[in-house]
Structure 1
Amino acid sequence: MSISPQQFDAARAVDLGRETLQIEAAALTAMGPRLGDAFAHAVQLVLACSGRVAVMGMGKSGHVGRKIAATLASTGTPALFVHPAEASHGDLGMVTPKDVVLALSNSGESDELNAILPVLKRLGVHIIAMTGGAASSLARHAHVVLDSRVDQEACPLNLAPTASTTAQMALGDALAVALLDARGFKPEDFARSHPGGALGRKLLTHVRDLMRSGAALPRVRAELPFTEMMREMSGKSLGVAILVDEEDRVQGIFTDGDLRRLIERGGDLRTLKAGDVMSKNPRTVRADALAVDAADLMEAARITLVLVVDEAHHLLGAISINDLMSAKVI
């Protein structure tokens, strides 16, 4: 059914959009007081599970179920989605007695889901139902029932799953959050399951992974003539010269900024030694530090490079703001 631009009622569209948000917000607000012992029992069942959470649902509930399974898996609870219709044709073998089933159905009367519930019970699998039908077939088979009922759908016809799927989604998030808290799940754990994301890069990338080292470092001794230091500095393209002693311990640093300030003061630079112009006590970081910590150090000190040293202050490497940007740590 097509509508011409002249027939389109913009004001009504905005009103319906706002009404949808209000209905769905009210549905979520109403669920809060209903959360109680059953929710706590569901969390306990999952925590005690030595297998995985097998999430099931048909239609829109299935789409929500896939998202819940993904959220659980990324927050420390092994989970997978099993399509109820495919389960009747072999995929039920994906579920073991060690698993917990989280079954979603707003009505609780999904034929494909109810057909496999007796088999799941014979397996000895605990079933958590997420349903709006407290007296439904699904609820009767379940060990725990999470009440996801809503007073009305946001659909003007009260037919299309809208508020009910929002309620399921939010209840799944609540379950995942309660579980990650109970497991003591930390940002580092989240990063390990998201190695390709921004958080993964920040929490899994260490300074040693990005630092320049070996021949790439412009090392010089304090007694080296200024002109020789500048030759070494220019050849390594780091914008610094690193002054070390005979045991390769860091003594100081000379930067492009230091050079500009020297030129502004004037004088014959050719008479100087590297040690005469170095800045002592340069900022340093350990190789096992997170790269994001090096970035924080640079930002706080308003510098673009830090040196990497060991416990005895031996020079191991250097890491610059460009290295961090190239690795998308910042």
Structure 2
Amino acid sequence: MTLPASNERLSDLCRLARDVIRLEAEAVAALEDRIGPEFDRACELLLNCPGRIVVTGMGKSGIIGKKIAATLASTGSPALFLHPAEGSHGDLGMLTRHDVLLALSNSGETAEILAILPLIKRMQVPTVAMTGRASSTLARRSDVHLDVFVAREACPHNLAPTASTTAALAMGDALAMALLQARGFTPEDFALSHPGGALGRRLLLQVADLMHSGSRLPVVNADTTLRQAVYEISSKGLGMTAVLEADGSLAGVFTDGDLRRALDRGADVLELPIRTLMHANPQVIGPEALAAEALARMEQFRINGLLVVDDGRLVGALNMHDLLRAGVV
């Protein structure tokens, strides 16, 4: 049977949690003064790597290494994770002479990494080490050493990897972001490697992918009566209709909101020509614009739809519901 925790015990737990967060924050903050020539050399090696960045680490360092490899790969630096123990049993075949090894070990003495290091050196693969001991074997035998030393772990017993893994993760993020900047990696590049996510949809989907065109596009002539325009709006279901001149040029737009304002006049307006009620010079967008830009335009002007114009000619229309269905919003 589990006894309910006393208020005093809960207070002690909260105090411990605050200490953990403070210690880990201090460990990360201490890294800032260590960013210098060695970090520059590491970036140079990784930037000039014609192959991939192969990240390795054992235990908790390995888990952090997997995250660093994933971050590198998704931000323009091809990377993969190599388990050092499996490396001695065939997986070292993942590594080529064109790669760079990024090895994580807080002690710098991880046996599984040191076991494969001579073979890596024989292949002449450059090695960047990330350790908490500059005098360690791994640090001394690597081409570049990144110091992620922490004064103590956040664990009350100073045993469980906590502050040290947080520091290694932060240094890995610093490397990835420095490489991203140096490569000129753009949000559009990021979206290409994340097509299934919300960001990918926002940065890859174009207006042309979502717009209504052809027979689905609501269009009336400028001399059409309001009665006929209402029918067009209702049948196409976009809450608006484009209004064209006789030569096909865009004259304006008429929306559900315009209809409510017209009916508020109190007179019989159903037989009035739509040109007397429409909104001239409507907001438009090009078919190659990003759907996210269409969303920003709608939010900026507080409207629910946009007409799509290409080279001065009406080619489509879309509304907020189209963006919602596509997951852009």
TM-score under structure 2 normalisation? 0.95
Matched-pair identity in % = 53
Assess if the C-alpha contact under 8 Å between 1:150 and 1:163 holds in 2. yes
Assess if the C-alpha contact under 8 Å between 1:253 and 1:279 holds in 2. yes
Relative distance call for 1:276 and 1:24 in structure 2 (3 A) is closer
Shift of the alpha carbon at 1:3? 6.4
**Structure 2 counterpart of 1:36, one-letter code:** G
Partner SS, residue 56 of structure 2: strand
- 1:328 counterpart residue number: 327
Shift of the alpha carbon at 1:62? 0.3
Shift of the alpha carbon at 1:198? 2.0
Partner SS, residue 128 of structure 1: strand
- 1:10 counterpart residue number: 10
Partner SS, residue 117 of structure 1: helix
Partner SS, residue 54 of structure 2: strand
Partner SS, residue 265 of structure 1: coil
Relative distance call for 1:6 and 1:221 in structure 2 (3 A) is closer
Structure 2 unpaired stretches of 5+: none
Partner SS, residue 264 of structure 2: helix
- 1:268 counterpart residue number: 268
- 2:63 counterpart residue number: 63
Assess if the C-alpha contact under 8 Å between 2:222 and 2:246 holds in 1. no
Shift of the alpha carbon at 1:231? 2.2
Greater shift, 229-238 or 283-292, is seen at 229-238
Shift of the alpha carbon at 1:24? 1.6
Tell me how far apart the structure 2 counterparts of residues 320 and 6 of structure 1 sit (CA, whole Å): 54
**Structure 2 counterpart of 1:320, one-letter code:** N
- 1:319 counterpart residue number: 318
Assess if the C-alpha contact under 8 Å between 2:238 and 2:318 holds in 1. no
**Structure 2 counterpart of 1:237, one-letter code:** G
CA offset digits 1:225-276 (Å, max 9, x no partner): 3322322222111222221134432111221112212211122234422333
Shift of the alpha carbon at 1:194? 1.5
Partner SS, residue 4 of structure 1: coil
Tell me how far apart the structure 1 counterparts of residues 39 and 270 of structure 2 sit (CA, whole Å): 77
**Structure 2 counterpart of 1:328, one-letter code:** G
Hey, which bits of structure 1, 4+ residues long, moved more than 3 A?
none
Shift of the alpha carbon at 1:196? 1.8
**Structure 1 counterpart of 2:98, one-letter code:** K
Once superposed, what is the RMSD of the aligned Cα atoms? 1.6
* 2:171 equivalent to 1:176: no
Shift of the alpha carbon at 1:23? 1.6
- 2:190 counterpart residue number: 190
Tell me how far apart the structure 2 counterparts of residues 177 and 143 of structure 1 sit (CA, whole Å): 21
**Structure 2 counterpart of 1:258, one-letter code:** D
* 2:231 equivalent to 1:236: no
Tell me how far apart the structure 1 counterparts of residues 274 and 148 of structure 2 sit (CA, whole Å): 73
Query: Where in structure 2 are the equivalents of 1:70-109 lying within 5 Å?
Result: 70-109=70-109
Tell me how far apart the structure 2 counterparts of residues 5 and 239 of structure 1 sit (CA, whole Å): 58
Greater shift, 203-212 or 189-198, is seen at 189-198
- 2:22 counterpart residue number: 22
**Structure 2 counterpart of 1:98, one-letter code:** H
- 2:142 counterpart residue number: 142
Assess if the C-alpha contact under 8 Å between 2:43 and 2:178 holds in 1. yes
The number of residues matched between the two structures is 328
Tell me how far apart the structure 2 counterparts of residues 296 and 260 of structure 1 sit (CA, whole Å): 25
Partner SS, residue 288 of structure 2: coil
Partner SS, residue 135 of structure 1: coil
Tell me how far apart the structure 1 counterparts of residues 133 and 15 of structure 2 sit (CA, whole Å): 30
Tell me how far apart the structure 2 counterparts of residues 78 and 58 of structure 1 sit (CA, whole Å): 21
Tell me how far apart the structure 2 counterparts of residues 75 and 179 of structure 1 sit (CA, whole Å): 8
CA offset digits 1:111-139 (Å, max 9, x no partner): 11110000001111000011112222212
Greater shift, 293-302 or 270-279, is seen at 270-279
Partner SS, residue 232 of structure 1: helix
- 1:113 counterpart residue number: 113
Structure 1 unpaired stretches of 5+: none
Partner SS, residue 9 of structure 1: helix
Shift of the alpha carbon at 1:39? 1.0
Relative distance call for 1:264 and 1:6 in structure 2 (3 A) is closer
Shift of the alpha carbon at 1:218? 1.7
CA offset digits 1:287-313 (Å, max 9, x no partner): 0111111111111221111100112x2
* 2:132 equivalent to 1:132: yes
**Structure 2 counterpart of 1:172, one-letter code:** G
Tell me how far apart the structure 1 counterparts of residues 163 and 296 of structure 2 sit (CA, whole Å): 43
Assess if the C-alpha contact under 8 Å between 1:247 and 1:314 holds in 2. no
Partner SS, residue 120 of structure 1: helix
